[in-house]
Amino acid sequence: MSHRTGGHDHSRVRSHANRQPGLYGFASMNPVARKRAKPTTLAKSAASVFVLMLAVSVFIGCSFSGNGGESGSVAENAVSDAQITTIQVELQAALDSWREDERITGASMSVFSTATGQIDMASGFAKLSIDPDRFPDDVLTIERPMFAGDLTHTLVAALVIQLARKGDLALDAPIAKWFPEFEYARQITVRNMLEHTSGIPAFYTQDFVDILYEEEPFVAQSPDRVIAVAAAAPGGAHFPPGTEYGYSKTNFLILGRIIEIVAGQPLEASLRERFFEPLGLDHTYLAGRERIPGGTPLGYEYVGPGTAAPTAVDGHVPQTPEISVISAEWASGALVSTPGDITRLVQAIFESTEFAEIAREMLKVAEHPAEDSGPVIVDSGAGVFVWTEDGEQVVGQFGFIYPFSAQFTYWPGSGTIVTVIANEVDSSRNPSTNFLLPVIENVTKEAKKILDGVQTGR
């Protein structure tokens, strides 16, 4: 089972003592190590996890999305404008407090409930100025897209299933037709890749990490080259397909290429035609091969006030993913979006009749659980994770591409959605070796508590 450290797939043993019950059984885990210069390749294991990384700074920027902050289906007992204002203030305070506690330069959040509609807000900055008296800090707004990492998987999975519903491909078809070079290619199916039971290794081998970060940081990687790296990874397949769960970003790179072969056009074009444009996702793009309007989003790493880094602002060092990494991630993690757009996407897929059959397929869980964390067993669906918490089904996905973290959480029973994206990681608390991994779950739970209070009439 693969583990993300520094946003990349690795295999790593995680001891039972390091588990804590929480979102996906993963988000509440203790921070794990990541080399500051570049990620390391770790040994294979059957018990590992996917983690996020974020961090900190100042300011507020809150707004409703669209017309008065409402979108989607709102219940007849929707709250009054005065109540909406109160809820907005509470949610903004929760986001601000969480961002400051986690030392994050900028974070944005979108929530939806049937009582309130959609409310979007931002906190902090998109860019800090070295000379704020002459050049003010760039305030983060709700329309400012940031990297959403592995949330890309939800889109790719929905598109694959959509093509399958049309008869363009079969979910149980083996991948040998397209990628015969993989071990077990005649047994690995499209469905195996959607739910991470393929056994396909990660493409972040040690040699390839060196290429991405040291030898060719400014060179765009083609998906086929990255897939070939995984196919030739030392040790081959992690396990025979369908026998275990093992998170590997390579699965979604392969799915992205299969979409292109079947659809006869670039993945980016298919996503625009089938999702971005019809759903009005005006701030959502797939980076790696196309230019992103406004340029590559800027992120930060908080190293503390004592740093000698010349570009640091109050301990926050600017960090932007290199094109080598962005292009390597592509269909597995190069989505650029806003929480507002992600919330609209989640609502469209899981709440609308148009996508009902696709949603049902995405929520079919793999035979092998993704993780068992105390009383919570987390299952892998297609591009999402599914679990039960306090007797209620929960659906979510989380993503990371250094230094950005993102997460959406959806409660089918109530229709509530909370999405968060942040632009910083924090290495100040253990500067000798590690990043600390802030937990988006904390602000998600607080937002859900506020929204539940509205639903129940407080």
pLDDT for the residue numbered 374 = 72
**Which residues have a Cβ under 8 Å from the Cβ of 332 and sit 6 or more positions away?**
150, 152, 153, 249, 250, 251, 252, 253, 256
In the prediction, which pLDDT does 78 show? 72
Residue 112 is part of a domain; what is its CATH number? Answer: 3.40.710.10
Q: Within 10 A of 274 (CB to CB), how many other CB atoms are there?
A: 16
The pLDDT of residue 10 is 29
pLDDT at 440: 95
Predicted pLDDT of residue 433: 59
At residue 432, the pLDDT reads: 62
Residue range 253-309, pLDDT digits in tens? 999 999 999 999 999 999 999 999 999 999 999 999 999 998 888 999 999 988 889
For residue 34, the enclosing domain spans 2-455
Q: Please give the pLDDT value at position 429.
A: 77
pLDDT in tens, the chain (458 residues): 222 223 333 222 222 222 222 333 333 222 222 222 333 222 222 223 332 222 222 222 333 333 333 345 555 557 888 999 999 999 999 999 999 999 999 999 999 999 999 999 999 999 999 998 999 999 999 999 999 999 999 999 999 999 999 999 999 999 999 999 999 999 999 999 999 999 999 999 999 999 999 999 999 999 999 999 999 999 999 999 999 999 999 999 999 999 999 999 999 999 999 999 999 999 999 999 999 998 888 999 999 988 889 999 999 999 999 999 999 999 999 999 999 999 999 999 999 999 999 999 999 999 898 887 777 788 999 999 999 988 999 999 999 999 999 999 999 999 999 999 999 999 887 666 567 666 899 999 999 999 999 876 65
pTM of the model: 0.85
pLDDT digits (tens, 9 = 90+) for 55-95: 222 222 333 333 333 345 555 557 888 999 999 999 999 99
Note the pLDDT of residue 294. 86
Q: What is the pLDDT of residue 73?
A: 57
pLDDT in tens, 237-249: 999 999 999 999 9
Q: Which residues, including other chains, have CB under 8 Å from residue 52's CB and lie 6 or more apart?
A: 27, 149, 398, 399, 400, 405, 406, 407, 437, 438, 439, 440
Is the four-CA dihedral 159, 165, 171, 176 of positive or negative sign?
A: negative
Q: How far apart are the first and last CA of the chain?
A: 42
Q: How many domains does the chain have?
A: 1
Three-class HEC string of 189-241: EHHHHHCCCCCCCCCCCHHHHHHHHHHCCCCCCCHHHHHHHHHCCCCCCCCCC
Q: How far is CA 396 from CA 13, 24, 92, in A?
A: 23, 8, 22
On whether the CB atoms of residues 334 and 353 are closer than 8 A, the answer is: no
User: What does DSSP say about strands 8-11 and 2-5: parallel, antiparallel, or unpaired?
Assistant: antiparallel
